[in-house]
Structure 1
Amino acid sequence: MSQFEKDVKDGLSRSPKYLSSKYFYDKKGDELFVQIMNMPEYYLTRAEFEIFKEQTTEIIESLGVRPDSYFELVELGAGDGTKTKELLKVLVNQGFKFDYVPVDISSNALNQLQSSLKEEMEELSVKIRKGDYFEVLESLKFTNTPKVILFLGSNIGNLEDEQAHQFMNELAAVLNSGDKLLLGVDLIKAEEVVLPAYNDKAGITKAFNLNLLSRINNELDANFDIENFTHQPEYSETTGIAKSFLVSTKAQSVKINGSGTFEFKAGEKIHTEISRKYSDEIIVKITKNTKFRLQEKLQDSKGYFADYILVRD
């Protein structure tokens, strides 16, 4: 039984039901997420892109890298690299000596990124790494080469706060003293700004969420009737947490070959994603006692998004 099948079986056996957001990203999921990032409602990408485009010099200065000192620029969950390219272009043009190491669980995303980078910046040294973040970082740890880690797009927001704290602890453990982390996070803001980003008028986010069921059908020989599920996002300004659910619109049974049959009540939810929004206080909370020290905070012009720069003590 694959890890995917084990996780799906475990998640659908729980009460309430749960599916991990990491399984959104098959080839179709990758394509849909690129569309999501270009939606008018999805402010996150534009806000962080603005920081990378308009404050590139400030980012480089805050990271403390120098043109004459080699370093590795490691990006966790690189995706299509749209924002990162703004930084890469300046580093390349100014003659910095570095390798760009994009890490992703999607071979498709990595191959597309490598191809586009070769076209746009032929002189850039790219070393793609497919796999789990910590496995890849563990393999890089013993080079003793200075590292800058990019973890953008508020991807850390897919974790509960306790999980995020654990993530930061584990990340610190595979880095050396003096290594830097650029952590991009979405900031807490009004519901009328946040909720449409997860429920766009064109229905792309809905298709992205429902595609997870199609993936289970295709890869695990299941018989989800996609028409019998709908997408439901929720957001609380008080907690700063957005959640996405797939909701069964009727009482039904779903069979997954080799894993069994799963019963759904009308209105029953499958929790698929959390998207935590942050404040300075929450950043302090998830980095407390992790050997990371906050050094700098850069924001977009609307104050929607922040890139925190932390140093590993």
Structure 2
Amino acid sequence: MNKTTALNGFAKDIHQGLTSTPKTLPSKYFYDSDGDKLFQSIMSMPEYYLTDCEFEIFNHQASAILDAIAPHKRPFNLIELGAGDGSKTRVLLDHFQKAGVDFTYCPVDISPDILNELEEKLREELPNIQVELLAGDYFELLNNKIGKFEGRNVFLFLGSTIGNYSYKKSIEFLQKLRAGMRGEDQLLMGADLKKDPSIILSAYNDAHGITKEFNFNLLRRINRELDADFNEANWMHWPTYNPETGEARSYLVSRVKQTVHMKAIDEVYHFKAWEEVHTEISRKFGLDDLQQLANETGFEVVDHFFDCKHYFVDTLWKPTNHS
């Protein structure tokens, strides 16, 4: 009996991806507890320049960022979408606290484990900061909770997470976010900039194979949670970067003709030899791309904050005033 209709979101999404053409696996499911740890390892790899660039921006330009988001030290809620371990954000939090500005930090993440760890670290390092944890889906929280917050909201969407969406999905995401924002709210968003293609590709093809493990961990999760029989030896991780489109993509490629059985939903999936399964996209942007994205989603670009190499930008936007 086909049980897919009665399944949770994870099983449905995996089934949908593996029955689509071409096959896909949704990257949001990389982040179980093992995946969270692997991603922390990725962020500390020398090849993964994005983290260092954003750290540099926050360490050197926290004052300028604060002046832009809180002129005259106006109070605000700092709402971080996809907070993760909050390591970069703590640089800003420390600076904002020392500057004497009144704010509440509201980290949002789909992973309650990550949020609890973040809260523990904040208690140790920055015990005087007001924190409100928000676990769950961004837009459900935006509609049901964040939209009722008093005062101005400044949204953080860091680490070039916007690049993990296709062009169409990024438009949809920003339009939904814009719909939940008020006139004086702002968005500070990280974006990885177009640069030497070899530098970009090496960030997704590291010498120690951590990115490969990050992808393979999803197969392990499917095996464990959906009682599947993916054999890792039959797969290879294949990252690519296309400078024309600005897209870095990751694939799992089937080395052999094979069949995978998922007992939890009583489904069988057939893979041809060298068939690819798309797992992840990371888009890179020019400043003109970001301007176009803002124009199409109801935002106005306020300022850009760059690292010294101009590899990365944290771009500050506000809702367009239509009056």
- The answer, yes or no, to whether TM exceeds 0.5 is yes
The answer to whether the aligner puts 1:198 opposite 2:211 as a matched pair is: no
What is the DSSP-based 3-state SS (H/G/I as helix, E as strand, rest coil) of the residue aligned with 1:17?
A: coil
Would the alpha carbon gap of residues 19 and 148 (structure 1) be closer, same or farther in structure 2, given more than 3 Å must change?
Answer: same
Q: Which runs of 4+ in 1 moved over 4 A?
A: none
Q: Deviations over 1:30-52 (max 9, x none)?
A: 00000000001000000011001
Q: What does residue 73 of structure 1 align with?
A: 78
Q: Deviations over 1:211-267 (max 9, x none)?
A: 000011111111111121111000011211100001111111001121400001111
Would the alpha carbon gap of residues 289 and 193 (structure 1) be closer, same or farther in structure 2, given more than 3 Å must change?
Answer: closer
Q: What does residue 300 of structure 1 align with?
A: 307
Deviation at 1:142, TM superposition (A): 2.6
The answer to whether the aligner puts 1:57 opposite 2:63 as a matched pair is: yes
Unmatched segments (≥5 aa) in structure 1: none
Query: Aligned partners of 2:151, 2:166: CA distance in 1, in Å?
Result: 31
5 Å-filtered alignment, 1:181-260, equals 181-257=187-263, 258-260=265-267
Q: What does residue 97 of structure 2 align with?
A: 92
What is the DSSP-based 3-state SS (H/G/I as helix, E as strand, rest coil) of the residue aligned with 1:306?
A: strand
Q: Do the aligned residues in 2 keep the contact of 1:9 with 1:259 (CA within 8 Å)?
A: no
Amino acid at match of 1:207: E
Query: Aligned partners of 1:142, 1:269: CA distance in 2, in Å?
Result: 45
Amino acid at match of 1:224: F
The answer to whether the aligner puts 1:270 opposite 2:277 as a matched pair is: yes
Amino acid at match of 2:183: S
Q: Do the aligned residues in 2 keep the contact of 1:75 with 1:149 (CA within 8 Å)?
A: yes
The answer to whether the aligner puts 1:103 opposite 2:108 as a matched pair is: yes
The answer to whether the aligner puts 1:172 opposite 2:178 as a matched pair is: yes
TM-score, scaled to structure 2? 0.94
Query: Aligned partners of 1:308, 1:134: CA distance in 2, in Å?
Result: 21
Amino acid at match of 1:105: I
Deviation at 1:70, TM superposition (A): 2.6
Q: Aligned match of 2:138 in 115, 133, 137?
A: 133
Deviation at 1:144, TM superposition (A): 4.2
Deviation at 1:143, TM superposition (A): 2.8
Query: Aligned partners of 2:247, 2:155: CA distance in 1, in Å?
Result: 25
Query: Aligned partners of 2:255, 2:111: CA distance in 1, in Å?
Result: 31
Would the alpha carbon gap of residues 204 and 289 (structure 1) be closer, same or farther in structure 2, given more than 3 Å must change?
Answer: closer
Query: Aligned partners of 2:149, 2:93: CA distance in 1, in Å?
Result: 22
Query: Aligned partners of 2:262, 2:190: CA distance in 1, in Å?
Result: 37
Deviation at 1:285, TM superposition (A): 2.1
Amino acid at match of 1:281: D
Q: Do the aligned residues in 1 keep the contact of 2:154 with 2:188 (CA within 8 Å)?
A: yes
Q: Aligned match of 1:161 in 160, 164, 167?
A: 167
Deviation at 1:287, TM superposition (A): 1.9
Query: Aligned partners of 1:218, 1:170: CA distance in 2, in Å?
Result: 34
Amino acid at match of 1:160: S
What is the DSSP-based 3-state SS (H/G/I as helix, E as strand, rest coil) of the residue aligned with 2:223?
A: helix
Q: What does residue 87 of structure 2 align with?
A: 82
Q: Deviations over 1:153-202 (max 9, x none)?
A: 00010111121111111101001001010010000111110001001000
Q: Do the aligned residues in 2 keep the contact of 1:144 with 1:176 (CA within 8 Å)?
A: no
Query: Aligned partners of 2:168, 2:203: CA distance in 1, in Å?
Result: 25
TM-score, scaled to structure 1? 0.97
Amino acid at match of 2:40: V
What is the DSSP-based 3-state SS (H/G/I as helix, E as strand, rest coil) of the residue aligned with 2:300?
A: strand
Query: Aligned partners of 1:240, 1:127: CA distance in 2, in Å?
Result: 36
What is the DSSP-based 3-state SS (H/G/I as helix, E as strand, rest coil) of the residue aligned with 2:253?
A: strand
**Aligned alpha-carbon RMSD (Å):** 1.1
Percent of paired sites with the same residue: 45
Deviation at 1:273, TM superposition (A): 0.6
Q: Deviations over 1:262-295 (max 9, x none)?
A: 0011111110011000111111222224221100
Amino acid at match of 2:310: G
Query: Aligned partners of 1:147, 1:36: CA distance in 2, in Å?
Result: 30
Unmatched segments (≥5 aa) in structure 2: 1-6
